Structure 1
Amino acid sequence: MSDTTFHRHRRLRRTQGIRKMVRETFLRKEDLIYPIFVVEGENIKKEVPSMPDVYHVSLDNLTEEMNRLEQHGVLSVIVFGVPGHKDQNGSEAYAEEGIVQKAIRHIKETNPALTVIADTCLCQYTDHGHCGIIEDGVILNDPSLHVLTDTAISQADAGADIIAPSNMMDGFTAAIRKGLDEAGHKDIPIMSYSVKFSSAFYGPFRDAAHSTPSFGDRKTYQMDPPNRLEALREAKSDVEEGADFLIVKPALSYLDIVREVKDETGMPVVAYNVSGEYSMIKSAAQNGWVDEKEVVMEKLTSMKRAGADLIVTYFAVDAAKWIDEEE
């Protein structure tokens, strides 16, 4: 058969060197954001039961963790707090001496080169585990915006480089943008959880953040997984309201949404590689069913290929090590 009757695509796959020459998608260490769970207390570094190699860390152990990130070239961290006290309105979320505020100040003092992103939500801080203010069993939208705005301002006051509101209340980006501007934080960007689906993949995170709802679920404010067009409406609303980055969460089952949000908005898009996605791979790898490195790098690369500019992932440090091995 003559070579002119079909294309020999394999020519460009023949050697590793040639494959690298024509590679289209690249995962960089600068693309990775590492989530950290900071807790009250001292001398704590306790593994989250459902998330192997992910830890609750007290402030006195935080510098060691941040040094580890910098050592491997991971330059961004998103901070989640687990407070010692919870109440109906989540008052520790916006307290000057709240756990996230203390963690932000600590990191900026000891590791100023790191970009510190503050997760802005109420679920870890409320005794009912929901992301807003409750009245008669109903999650109230507009009253929640005031508390979320106070929380964002307190985090910016503490030194956060980026505010990342994750609550999915209507108008949260507009309210927080207005609040930050009026508080003198016009230069602080918002990394909005614009498209956050009500997903079964969040289970291990709720174990880590102690944020499981005490009643009901979050389906009245987080998005219904089958909905694609609604996701685009949510993303476009956040662009109009002043978001600087758009997060799609979860990532792996929603790569089509990542691509469409990128194509439709042209904004920096962040894929959130969530806890359930992490724990499934960890469990399979520990049982010898998959090659952890190969599966993780393939998965993270798929997010970049789908259009993500940045990735929040518990694999950030491991991925950075594996990127170094490839260079």
Structure 2
Amino acid sequence: MSLEMKIKNEGIKEVPSRRILHEQEFSMAAQDFTQIIDIDLTLEGNVTKELPNMPDYPVRSLDNAISYMHLLRQKGIFSVVIRMGGSVKNEQNSVYSFDPLFIGTEEKYNELYDREIPVYQFLQAQREAYKLIRETFKSSDLQIIGDPFGVAPNKNGGWGIQNEDGTLNYEKTKELLKEIARTYNDVQLDGLLTLGRIYKEVQITREVLDQINSKTMIYSFSQNIESRTSYIYLDKINNRRDTGQKILPGNITEIALRTILDIHEGTDVVVVKPTENYHAIFMTNEFLDNKESVLNFLSSEKVRNICESNTEIKENVDYIYNNINEFYGKCQNVGVSTYTVSGSYYLQKLLGKEKGDDFTYNVLDETFKNAKSAGGKKFVTIMDRNTNWYLSK
């Protein structure tokens, strides 16, 4: 006899369930997502190129990407983040190489950079491509967020203009960041991703955008970590993963501090990368919503220890602490988003291959709902390569 029948026949009181809510508190809709798109500006015509270990996520030519964006709009997806790069042809290696994804062997990678397009020349190529996209889609029809990583990636996996000895030339990189901001404003992009790699990157960008009274919003990778799984689509994994530019995994104090400093410098949206860092999403939401949590963090022993060895950080921390209402005023206009990295996409597709699409869908559904709930009322969007696939199921 089933438990239900036993309860009914014997008059036994039903044991209360631990579950309180029997309906979903959060649901997902098209407006919650931003589709990630990679465009290879060296591809001609309406074509795509498959990436190793990235099933169902091709790199697109500009013409193909525009056609794809029309399709997205028909499905109710009105936000995209675009990363532009180029490719080189190697007759001895059939593996397609897309810069900035660093596909292929180390030899292929080095060959790509021997033929590197100068950064300003490539930025100009981006300008023309974005101009065509914006002529096709008005801001009211499609939100476009530009990811500038393809402008100046380096052989060691870092980003920016380098000196001859391979170290970062900060002053030249700073001028490049300014020109990126001006360019993305000129082509009327709705948002600009900062990379979470360069000192005062948000402040540099904010000053330029404010000077020209730009409507382009800053989406900052404030918590960008030095993940060794970021390049899972490479043929070979080697030690050049540590760029020295990003936060070490697990360093929650620096993740929190960089988030607060980016808010102070003028970001519009803090983008948590990867999406699965729910603790960072929740922490960011808490900072934006509760100035006491900011004060408690800034006065913590770990932050004081950091300030003892870094005078400039100490000055910024002291300023924020002593002007908390000014900082909290900025927080009122800041949102929180997430970005699903390529490594996560690859693992999700492996699950689909082993367990089927329904299992993959459920994994994504749980991930997205957890991320949205952690973002609370400050949630803006989830940037994900699976957006179109997920919403089509």
User: TM-score interval w.r.t. the shorter chain?
Assistant: 0.7 to 0.9
Which TM-score applies when normalising by structure 2?
Answer: 0.70
CA RMSD, Structure 1 to Structure 2 (Å) = 2.8
Per-residue deviation, 1:265: 2.2
1-structure distance, mates of 2:196, 2:247: 11
Tell me, yes or no, if structure 1 residue 190 matches structure 2 residue 218: yes
Tell me, yes or no, if structure 1 residue 298 matches structure 2 residue 369: no
Per-residue deviation, 1:239: 0.8
Per-residue deviation, 1:11: 7.4
Specify the alignment match of 2:306 in structure 1.
Answer: none
Moved more, 40-49 or 287-296: 287-296
1-structure distance, mates of 2:246, 2:273: 10
Q: 2:179 aligns with which of 150, 160, 165?
A: 150
SS in 2 for 1:203: coil
Q: Is the 8 A contact 2:202 2:266 kept in 1?
A: yes
Specify the alignment match of 1:101 in structure 2.
Answer: 127
Residues 100-249 of structure 1 mapped to structure 2, 5 A cutoff? 100-112=126-138, 113-121=141-149, 125-126=153-154, 129-135=157-163, 136-182=165-211, 184-204=212-232, 216-249=240-273
Q: Which amino acid is the alignment partner of residue 134 of structure 2?
A: K
SS in 1 for 2:285: helix
Q: Which amino acid is the alignment partner of residue 130 of structure 2?
A: I
Q: Which amino acid is the alignment partner of residue 41 of structure 1?
A: L
SS in 1 for 2:222: strand
Specify the alignment match of 1:38 in structure 2.
Answer: 39
1-structure distance, mates of 2:131, 2:117: 26
Tell me, yes or no, if structure 1 residue 68 matches structure 2 residue 74: no
Q: Is the 8 A contact 1:196 1:222 kept in 2?
A: yes
Instruction: Name structure 2 gaps, 5 residues minimum.
Output: 1-10, 88-112, 290-333
Q: 2:339 aligns with which of 272, 278, 292?
A: 272
Moved more, 272-281 or 23-32: 23-32
Per-residue deviation, 1:282: 0.5
2-structure distance, mates of 1:178, 1:93: 23
Per-residue deviation, 1:35: 1.0
Specify the alignment match of 2:284 in structure 1.
Answer: 261
Tell me, yes or no, if structure 1 residue 315 matches structure 2 residue 386: yes
Per-residue Cα deviation, 1:100-120 (whole angstroms, up to 9, x for no partner): 323322222223211000012
Q: Is the 8 A contact 1:120 1:167 kept in 2?
A: no
Specify the alignment match of 1:325 in structure 2.
Answer: none
Q: Which amino acid is the alignment partner of residue 231 of structure 2?
A: G
Q: Is the 8 A contact 2:145 2:190 kept in 1?
A: yes
2-structure distance, mates of 1:195, 1:111: 31
Q: Is the 8 A contact 1:132 1:167 kept in 2?
A: no
SS in 1 for 2:56: strand
Specify the alignment match of 1:285 in structure 2.
Answer: 352
Please state which structure has a larger fraction of its residues in strand: 1
Q: Is the 8 A contact 1:78 1:118 kept in 2?
A: yes
Specify the alignment match of 2:321 in structure 1.
Answer: none
- Inter-CA distance 232–285: structure 2 relative to 1 (3 Å threshold): same
Q: Is the 8 A contact 1:89 1:133 kept in 2?
A: no
- Structure 1 stretches of at least 4 aligned residues deviating more than 6 Å after TM superposition: 212-215
Q: Which amino acid is the alignment partner of residue 55 of structure 1?
A: P
Moved more, 118-127 or 45-54: 118-127
Larger radius of gyration between Structure 1 and Structure 2: 2
SS in 2 for 1:200: coil
Q: Is the 8 A contact 1:83 1:124 kept in 2?
A: no
2-structure distance, mates of 1:28, 1:178: 35
1-structure distance, mates of 2:158, 2:257: 24
2-structure distance, mates of 1:312, 1:295: 16
Instruction: Name structure 1 gaps, 5 residues minimum.
Output: 14-18, 323-327
Specify the alignment match of 1:8 in structure 2.
Answer: 17
1-structure distance, mates of 2:204, 2:171: 10
- Inter-CA distance 161–66: structure 2 relative to 1 (3 Å threshold): same
Tell me, yes or no, if structure 1 residue 251 matches structure 2 residue 275: yes
Specify the alignment match of 2:61 in structure 1.
Answer: 58
Moved more, 232-241 or 313-322: 313-322
Q: Which amino acid is the alignment partner of residue 31 of structure 2?
A: E
Specify the alignment match of 1:16 in structure 2.
Answer: none
2-structure distance, mates of 1:175, 1:278: 32
SS in 1 for 2:159: coil
- Inter-CA distance 61–88: structure 2 relative to 1 (3 Å threshold): closer
SS in 2 for 1:296: helix
Per-residue Cα deviation, 1:276-313 (whole angstroms, up to 9, x for no partner): 11110111211236712111111211211222431110
